Amino acid sequence: MTGPVHRAGGGAEGSISQIVCSTCGSTAVAGLPFCPSCGKKLAQPVEGRACPRCGTAAPEDRKYCPACGQGLDGMLRPSQAAAQTAAQHVIVVVDDAGEPLSRHPLQTGETTLGREGADMEFAEDPYLSPVHLKFTAKEEQLFVRDLGSRNGTWVFITEPHRLSDGDRILLGSQVLVYRRLGYPGPHPPERDATRRLGSLVPSADIAKLTQVRSDGSERDVMHLSPGRDIALGREDGDWVFPYDPSMSGRHAEIHSEDADFVLIDSGSRNGVAVAARGDVPAPPNTRILVGDKMIRVEAS
């Protein structure tokens, strides 16, 4: 399509804007829907800017070409932008010492990882689900999402993590589940006014941590109350796990902040991880335990 052709008219009419039919080459008055010579539909001139890719005119308020989808003014289409963001990251499989074993550059906006049928496959890992997790690039960031895997996707924290009901925590080889209990209601008085006998506690327990075995059964429980901080570790803390050699002497802490609780890594050797729920940001240097593999997100 060419731009509008102006021909001088007579009298007070001034100039008449005309366009050229892309089929037969005849000229027609701008605004006519069909060519008067061949009957083909006419492409009307549009005030705006031309697409740098295909030349189609687009209104000024359009971000993308209506014909080919190319971004105008150098902007990228969403899929192009996502691929560009993904290409800035590499998934690195590391050993126990953190040394790289293999590198897997991301090339598209979405990349799945799993044992079978995923974009990034590790067929030898029996702890991986067939399609275990997905990396997604959006809003100039990389995110990881667990896809309903059997063993979860564990993201290691690098800063204090505010716990939410249902969070699963990995300390050494211990899996703990955080649950909110809420504030208990008052006990109604007994009919004969007899007082109840019970343990004196600092305040009401409004949450708890439950230790979970590999078969899903529960073992020990630690209750949490406002104003009470607790420490966890192999040797030092309010809750100790002397039988877990993968846990540091003082591994983690849980701090009370008003009615919330915050999980903090106490400088442990093996780190503290929380099971991914929804899209979790995975910037460079994020460590993720998936199946029996430790992976690290790196900048390309």
Listed residue (174, 242, 168) closest to 213, CA to CA: 174
Per-residue pLDDT reduced to its tens digit, 115-152: 999 999 999 999 999 999 999 999 889 999 999 999 99
68 and 112 belong to one structural domain: no
Q: How confident is the model at residue 28 (pLDDT cuts 50, 70, 90)?
A: confident
223 and 259 belong to one structural domain: yes
68 and 117 belong to one structural domain: no
Residue 246 lies in a domain: yes
Domain of 69 in residue numbering reads as: 50-75
Q: Report pLDDT for 81.
A: 82
253 and 285 belong to one structural domain: no
Per-residue pLDDT reduced to its tens digit, 46-95: 556 667 666 667 777 777 776 667 676 666 667 788 988 999 999 999 99
Count of domains for the chain: 3
217 and 167 belong to one structural domain: yes
| Distance in angstroms (rounded) separating the CA atoms of residues 152 and 127 | 10
Q: Report pLDDT for 192.
A: 75
271 and 287 belong to one structural domain: no
233 and 209 belong to one structural domain: yes
161 and 253 belong to one structural domain: yes
Q: How confident is the model at residue 22 (pLDDT cuts 50, 70, 90)?
A: confident
Residue 41 lies in a domain: no
Per-residue pLDDT reduced to its tens digit, 154-202: 999 999 999 999 999 999 999 999 999 976 656 666 777 777 777 766 6
| Distance in angstroms (rounded) separating the CA atoms of residues 208 and 179 | 5
Tokens at 70, concatenated:
């190319």
Listed residue (267, 295, 300) closest to 155, CA to CA: 295
Q: What is the CATH number of the domain that holds 99?
A: 2.60.200.20
For the full predicted model, state whether its pTM sits above 0.85: no
Residue 166 lies in a domain: yes
Residue 45 lies in a domain: no
96 and 172 belong to one structural domain: no
271 and 283 belong to one structural domain: no
Tokens at 192, concatenated:
């004969």
Q: Report pLDDT for 55.
A: 64
Residue 178 lies in a domain: yes
Segment holding 83, helix H or strand E? helix 78-86
Residue 99, judged by CB atoms within 10 A of its CB (0-12, 13-18, 19+), counts as exposed
Tokens at 66, concatenated:
């209506």
Residue count of the chain, please give it: 300
Residue 266 lies in a domain: yes
Q: Is the separation of the CB atoms in 208 and 221 below 8 Å?
A: yes
Q: Is the dihedral of CA 170, 172, 176, 178 positive or negative?
A: negative
291 and 213 belong to one structural domain: no
Q: What is the CATH number of the domain that holds 244?
A: 2.60.200
Residue 12 lies in a domain: no
Residue 281 has pLDDT above 50, yes or no: yes
Per-residue pLDDT reduced to its tens digit, 252-279: 999 999 889 999 999 999 999 999 999 9
241 and 103 belong to one structural domain: no
Q: How confident is the model at residue 217 (pLDDT cuts 50, 70, 90)?
A: very high
Q: Report pLDDT for 202.
A: 65
Q: Report pLDDT for 209.
A: 97
| Distance in angstroms (rounded) separating the CA atoms of residues 118 and 293 | 16
Residue 160 lies in a domain: yes
Higher pLDDT, 184 or 98: 98
Q: Report pLDDT for 183.
A: 64
